[in-house]
Amino acid sequence: MKLRLLQGALMVALTLYVAPARAQEKCATDHIHQHMMDSDPHYRQYFENRDLALRADGDAARSNSTLTVPVMVWIFHNDGPENISRAQVLDAIDVLNEDVQRLNSDTSNTSNTFKPVAGMGNIEFKLATVGPTGECTDGIVRVRTALTANAPNEIKNLVPADNNKYMNIYVVKTIENTFGGNGTILGYAYFPNPGQSALNDGIVIRHDVMGRIGSATTGFGPNNGGRTLTHELGHYLGLPHTFQGGCFGNNDGFTDTPPVAASNSGCNWGNSCSNESPDLPDQGENYMDYTNGICQNMFSAQQVARMESELNGTRSQLISSQNLLETGVDDASALCAPNAYIGTPSPYVCLSDSLELFDYSWNGPVTARQWTLVNTNLDFSQDSVASIGFNAPGTYTIELNASNGQGNSLATRIINVFDTVGIVPGYYGESFEPPFPFGTQYQVQPNEMAYSWNVDTDVAKTGTQSMSVKNYFKTAGAREELLMPPLDMTQQTASTLEFSYAFARKTVDDQDELRIWVSTNCGVTWIPRMVIPAAQLATAPNEFFDEFEPSPNQWETATVNLAAYQSREHLLVKFEFTSGGGNNIYLDDLKIYETIGLEENSVEEIALYPNPVRDQLTIDLGTLEEVEIEIRDLTGRLLFTGRHSGQLEMTTSAWTAGTYFAIFRTTQGVVSRKLIKQ
């Protein structure tokens, strides 16, 4: 017989459900528990003072009436498949209720050995109709954020979740694994403990194991059957894994779940422990093992009693009559005004193409809608799917007005329209000085409009202007995009993109990131070319108390090889900055030039002096003959062109101080040299 005490490892605040086929270590419970014991004195005191004895003989008091739990589902998405439908959410809640109440269709698959101890819970989960701030809701809130990929636990801070009134389920694309184990994490949950915050509570789950339909028919979903949510619910209501403690430990504290040597996987299991009496096989069909969800079909009676006990104890505030009234779970017929939302496969389009737009409004049914191109008189559709074309490149705003009998809401979406004809770089430079074609050639795809990429007239590496993101004020996870005008690379040899940047973190923990992407199909898909994480992105010491403005020596230069795209007629380049809690970022002196093509000894023959130059420049071509020379400023403006040999003297006193490029073309290739004018 198993001992009836839960040992320390069971009281860990966080447990994980990891995809079995991808990991040797299935759960980081002990690691997380030890971390919390070491770092949280309140948790340690609670744990050490708690009465751990459980009535594990099935005699625990059972509820005579149904225990109703209000649920809020928070969907974090980035316009991908993780933005699951309401139908998929409802299906996931159905699985939860069926499994807890033992109304699941596969109860006949429970082995004859364990059918007598299978539990039937008196618990029901319902979506709330009144949200945390008193708003009308259908129990599902959608938040667009780049943090949904590799989502950290702190993603919860983006929403006003109240863990005293709701069981909060957070749906994400993928989950960050910093919990000490290996493998793909499908979900995790926090055990109940008094005074826990919303950050350290609730269930986090991948979209493709949420329910049985929609995106759950892909990825890890087919073998899951929606049971990851059931598994995490068990943790949320105090259940450890059935394999806790192995054969000779104190196990999970229940006598109707036999000891298990280690977690099972797949759909095959045997008898891993033979030291108990009676000697029973592993209960692999239990939701709290790591077997495939489609092979799970039961909680034990004592597990069910434990879950009901937690709802009548530590989580009793959830099921109180006052809370049920305040969260509106008994008013399933409540109808809310819709929250308008515009979906599109891509916010980028070329003049030759049309753009499809989808009404992805949520929170209430849409009975009427109007699509409008802002700043025009064009109302172009009233359908749930709309299409629009454009006759000039630039940045446009689409508006959707969605309504029903309860009210209406407006949503806007920035659309970037590009010319079908690209700029032929040869040499191309942009230092963002007036007149800068912002909004027509250079465009932004904003996440937070107030703190997106914008022209900065106070900071520059050269000249008087740069581009910046005022990241000091931004929400972590917000992603801001700056797009260059399209480039025609067909007349280029191998080319290089060069740019200067300046950035400071607030603290060493900041996770900001700059990525450079290219697209060869007008933004339908993007190819990453460079990633600069926060530690490498920082060009100055941390600055916590004030906005960062770089000094002249706090700039760095980066280069991106574009040689693979030299035959492309239409190449887009995108600078994508993702906020991770740091300070401001600046971008300046952007240029594209042909990569060196001369032999090394020929390159060494070319000399420019003095450099930096003031009034008189000497260009020495050595033994090279008939070299075509171009000198351009950072805007690409041509200052000098000619064909020369030997040595050339040039007066530069009339040039504006700044950075220039000298391009030398011979039959052997092309070389570019930077020139500084003081």
In the predicted model, is pLDDT for residue 637 greater than 60?
Answer: yes
Closest among 289, 297, 269 to 281, alpha carbons compared: 269
Rounded distance, CA 412 to CA 518, Å? 26
Q: Which residue has the tokens 């740019």?
A: 499
Positions of E strands within 87-238 = 123-127, 140-144, 167-172, 185-190, 203-206
What's the gap between Cα 497 and its chain centre?
27
Q: Which two tokens stand for residue 263?
A: 């977690």
Order of strands across the sheet with 368-373?
A: 348-350, 407-418, 394-404, 368-373, 378-381
pLDDT tens profile 151-206: 989 999 999 999 999 999 999 999 888 765 567 889 999 888 888 899 989 999 99
How far apart, in Å, are the Cα atoms of 428 and each of 417, 486, 591, 638, 663?
21, 12, 5, 11, 11
Whole-number pLDDT of residue 176: 86
Query: What is d(CA 138, CA 121) in angstroms, rounded to the nearest whole number?
Result: 25
pTM: 0.80
Cα distances (angstroms) measured from residue 392 to each of 171, 346, 372, 445, 497: 39, 18, 17, 17, 27
Catalytic residue IDs? 232
Which CATH number applies to 342-418: 2.60.40.10, 3.10.20.30, 3.90.226.10, 3.40.50.2000? 2.60.40.10
> Is 8-327 a domain of CATH 3.40.390.10?
yes
433 vs 161, higher pLDDT = 161
CATH number belonging to domain 427-594: 2.60.120.200
The confidence band for 16, taking pLDDT boundaries of 50, 70 and 90, is low
Q: Write out pLDDT tens, residues 503-562.
A: 999 999 999 999 999 999 999 889 999 999 999 999 999 999 999 999 999 999 999 989
Q: Quick check: do 8-327 and 600-677 share a fold?
A: no
Diameter of the chain by CA atoms?
A: 101
Look at residue 403 and tell me whether its pLDDT is greater than 50.
yes
600-677: CATH topology: Immunoglobulin-like (2.60.40)
Please write down the long-range contacts of 433-439, taking CB distance under 8 Å and 24 or more positions apart.
433/463, 433/464, 433/465, 433/634, 433/635, 434/465, 436/465, 437/485, 439/394, 439/395
Whole-number Å distance between alpha carbons of 624 and 666: 8
Q: Which amino acid is at 219?
A: G
Greater confidence, 647 or 313?
313
> What is the arithmetic mean of pLDDT over 395-422?
94
In the chain, where the domains are located: 8-327, 342-418, 427-594, 600-677
- pLDDT above 60 for 291: yes
In the three-class reduction of DSSP (H, G, I as helix; E, B as strand; rest coil), residue 460 is classed as coil
